[in-house]
Amino acid sequence: MRWVSKYLLRIVAFAVIAYLFVPIAVIAVLSFNKPANRYNLAWNSFSLDAWKNLCGFPGVCQSFVTSVEIGVISTIIATIMGTMIAIALVRYRFRGRSATNILIFLPMATPEVIMGFSLLALFLFLRFPPGFAAVTIAHIMFIISFAVVTVKARVQGLDPRLEEAARDLYASPAATFRFVTLPIILPGIVGAALLGFALSFDDFVISYFNAGTMQTFPIFIWGAAQRGIPVQVNALATGVFVLALAIVIVGQSMRSTRQRRLERGL
């Protein structure tokens, strides 16, 4: 029992991490594979062809760039709007505030298939054509709730006495927000943006309903799966994961460095 109590948590943590990362490891390994047929499901021989020619399969890079463009645009707009909504819900009292707090969770609780179909019906009723703009609007609507919740948690942890001290020193409301409020809530804003981009880039259901003839990266993978997923998809997916992992590592490193400096009184 003493051994179990000492090592059980570590064993469970390692098992959970392995469960999460083994599928990603398989994708990474298969990105260096030279498949014997159109189905890249079994190891055949080592090859760097996919990495040397990421756009070797028709449509793969175009769909990837489309997903990135939609993700960036929708993330920027949703993060800005979500930040303003979060600050308003925490700092101000207005009629309908309680209802807004409840309604902001509806897009998170609504199944994507319902949201995607509802947006498609709305766009058709308004005679708004499906495609890039429709998918971007749909993603903004979907992401805003996550941005509000993420930034709201950061704003609630902000000590209002810091802003009061700035105003006591004759700082204008704009200067107080720029030099006091914004730097403190910035980690929450960055976290909301990263989460929003990941949700937008990964979304399939809402995009499929409103894309029309346009293909995002998830839609391309879904279509290619019926004919055989090209090895370039594995390479691009591995590259995205490595980039995301690098961002997380750099962020944690900067946070640890800042924490050590604060502890030393620098």
Predicted local distance difference test score (pLDDT) of residue 266 = 52
Tell me the CB-side half-sphere exposure of residue 69, using CA atoms within 13 A.
Answer: 13
Phi, psi values for residue 207, rounded to 5°: -65, -40
Residues 218 and 202 sit within 8 Å (Cβ to Cβ): yes
Q: What is the chain's pLDDT, residue by residue, as a tens digit (266 residues)?
A: 677 667 788 888 888 988 888 888 988 898 898 887 777 777 888 888 889 888 888 888 999 999 999 999 999 999 999 999 999 888 888 888 888 888 888 888 888 899 999 999 999 999 999 999 999 999 999 899 999 999 998 888 888 888 888 888 888 888 888 888 888 888 889 989 999 999 999 899 999 999 988 999 999 988 887 777 888 888 998 998 888 888 888 878 887 887 777 677 65
Q: How many CA atoms lie within 13 A of 122 on its CB side?
A: 11
Separation between Cα atoms, residue 78 and residue 233, nearest integer Å: 28
**Whole-angstrom Cα distance, residue 138 to residue 116?**
8
Are the beta carbons of 65 and 57 closer than 8 angstroms? no
3-class secondary structure, 128: coil
What's the pLDDT score for residue 256? 80
Distance CA(72)–CA(199), nearest Å, equals: 11
Query: What is the pLDDT at residue 199?
Result: 92
pLDDT computed for residue 80 by the predictor: 94
Please tell me the predicted confidence (pLDDT) of residue 265: 61
Q: Is 61-225 a domain of CATH 1.10.510.10? A: no
Domain range list for the chain: 61-225, 230-266
- What per-residue confidence (pLDDT) applies to 40? 77
